[in-house]
Amino acid sequence: MASSHNIPHAASSVEEIVALPDVTGVAISTPPFLH
């Protein structure tokens, strides 16, 4: 999905995201009833 929408970086887990040194925050942009 990321490549078809020209998104340069994608991850399949939260652990993979927070392990990246330049990530300082994460926004959950779904309605509360979906997470």
The model's pTM is 0.46
pLDDT of 2-35, one tens digit each? 889 898 888 888 899 889 898 888 787 888 898 7
Distance of CA 4 to the CA centre of its chain: 16
**What pLDDT was estimated at residue 26?**
79
CA 32, CA 10: separation in Å to the nearest integer? 22
CA 21, CA 31: separation in Å to the nearest integer? 28
